[in-house]
Structure 1
Amino acid sequence: MFDKTYRQRLEADLARWEADGVIAPASAASIRNALPPLPAGINIAVVVAIVGGLLIAAAFLAFVAAHWTEIARLLRFAILLAGMIVSGGLGAWFAARGRTVLADLCASIGAIVFGAGIALVGQMYHLGEDFAGGMLLWSIGAFAGALLTGSRGALAVGLVAASIWTCMRTTDTPDALHLPFVAVWLIAAATAFVWNSRVAAHLVATALLPWWIATSLRFEFDGAQQSFLLANGAALVFGAGLAIAATRSPRALVLGNVLSVYGAFALAAVACLEVTTADDILRIRTKTVPAQPIWAILCGVAGVVLALASAAITRRAGEVLAASAIGLVLLAAPLWPAAEAGEPWLAYAALLCAMLCLVVSGMLDDVRPRILAGWLGIAGVVTGITWAVKGSLLHRSVFLAAAGLVAVAFATALNRMLPRAAR
């Protein structure tokens, strides 16, 4: 989708430049010829075929489920095995004819049938009720199918199963970090890197959210502010994404850009959470001082260091501001005073400055998702400050007015310092 949009803009620019005499017609033709062909899109026929295949698969599963108790155990196992074989065979047939979307769909269905087979075989033979272990086995099988076929859908199934697995393990053993998921995630990230696939990179970035959320809600963190723990995770993802993209490898650029975008949006989200959860709008913590584990603090520090390292490599001022945004969001945790000590004006100021740095960073680097994340963060923080339950609304209005005046003064200074072309 993004390639098609870029081609349309490029074609319009080439036609305009050629009409204005900026480039010669031969140069425009050379540029067009140098571009690789666009990948085949999903037309209406493919969409209808996908819906039809899903309906047939659903009908088959419903029929088998309706007569499940009447079917012999060996025949049940044969049906499940046949489902995987047929989906794999159809996928190979579609792949040989260049129907990559349908081939990917078949591989995904095969991965889903494999998971259903694990559950049904366990039910038939009354195996131990280790649901988390079953999810791990399902994830391994889906990952194997993804590696063998290059299916993005199978990778998504594997990541979903792995996310359920880690959430269940975290609930069962809240006194220890579930680090095995990190190893699984690194394998998935390496797969996305090798594939050089933006879709796979999005899947890998999304899969981090369940682990961080489940980890932040672990029982031994009672008394800690969960939004601060999430902020450390967002900082690490944001900084790591910038550092990976700074290596200037085409494969690393795809993965790093996607991770940094998710990190920017996560940073904006946790900035809003810090306001809403630490000031009695949503009461989550039970102690007055938010304690953070050392490993989480180190993750946040690593995010700042990686962002600064990326800025040193790329020489981009926007990435320096991105590192500043990360640091300010993390700084809000120790700045937050106890509830009875008054309103946390310094923390409010740090979060507003962080989101402003995020917006300016995106503008300097011309990264629109980062700009959007910053604006959403500013809106959320201002809303949280305005509608906080405790404290004087008059004091909050004075604080917001002062913050607005500082922002206007800062804008005036920037307007005088920056060249006209860069404003």
Structure 2
Amino acid sequence: MGSPVDVEATEASPQVECAVCAAPIDLKVDACDLKGEAVTCGHSGAPPSLPRSASSSSLHHNWEDDVAEFLHHDVTRSCRDGCRYQGMPYRRVGHKPLLLATVRGTDENGQAFEWLARRCRKRVKQPYECPRPPPKLTWFDSLSLKRHYHKPGWWIAALFVVGSVFWLFTGIARLTTPVSLPEQWPPGLGSLSAGMSVWIEVVALYLMYLPACIIQVYEAINMDLEARLRAWQRACRQHQTAANARAAVQAGGGGGAKGGGAKGGGDEGGGDVDTAPLPPRPRPRVLPSHADLRTVSFWLAAMQLIGIFVFCAAVTTELVGKAVQLSDAVYRWVIAFEFFIGGALFSGSAWMACVEETGSYWRGCVPSRWADLHSVSWAAVFFALHGSLGFMIFGIVFFAYTDIGWASTQGIMVYGQVWASACFIISSTAGLLEQANPQHM
């Protein structure tokens, strides 16, 4: 048998222990192989079950569906207990992290595997699936909409690239006097000051950043979609194999019964016909499962979505300030403070993305290994963190210092918006490269 499971059989009710949650379940099929490509019995009509990706079992995580493909059988209890789990707020050996980020372990043959939550979320290959040395990095293929339009991760990166270019443009424009210090105040919604700064930021926020953050939540909720689709395709193949076997048995039985009478042959041939339907095709979810709530991936996406709403409130208020006179308190508490809160939420989300990628609290924040500088995934989380810190510091400076001078304003603008936007451009470009090079770490 391909999968070591504990069987408890009694004459009254045969049962088998589930390899995922160790809960006893009734046996629904006769003697069938438990491997991934199972040989279905001729008279067994029940289609094989799909993975427990949405299970509320306390022992189940999304990583088990992916690693089971690598192990070619169910993830056994001994394998789960021997893994090293890294997450938040602590790391340990055993299946008890609060929010899962990475899993490292070995199979029964001693072969090592490593599962990274970010690579599962972005639907690229895990480290044990990537060739060594890595293939040559392709640059321009990431711009192919025809190839990547079906990938949520590609749309997230593409929207962030365009939105960050818009913010970079406004940051540079705000360094000039006609945009930041117009002769008339308020300058009006149709003025050069509004058109070169706030209007562009509003377009970037509502049409690029906000949709990207919504797609990112969808991406995190459906981390296991590919695993569920693979299991569904395998179940369909098993169902078809069983149907072919029944058809062969029926044809053989019908031919042998002609001599004895058509009626008997028809009854014999039709008695074993099973019309069990195929399992339904897995559909994307719009609400998180219990397993999703225990991953870093979902919470970093949710935190970033909240942060973008705060940014939208701050920039929309600033747009209103271009048309009507607002008090200094509004500029301080509604615009500067909300900009700080949005940057803080983005910074927390980006730090969690570093943990999601590396399994370490600090390795994604600073370059500590030469291999990190060659990793597109590491570059994506590193520059996203430092861009978010720039936006946060930009907000807190304008909140804390209401009488800041023009020279200081230019300095914080260079760091807090120009440099921060450039970091997001680099991070998002790395995300595009990640989608076009799934075998590259």
- Fold shared per TM-score above 0.5: no
Report which of the two structures shows the higher radius of gyration computed on alpha carbons.
Answer: 2
* Structure with the higher fraction of residues in strand conformation: 2
Between 1 and 2, higher relative CO (CA 8 Å, sep ≥ 6) is seen in: 2
Tell me the TM-score normalised to structure 1 length: 0.30
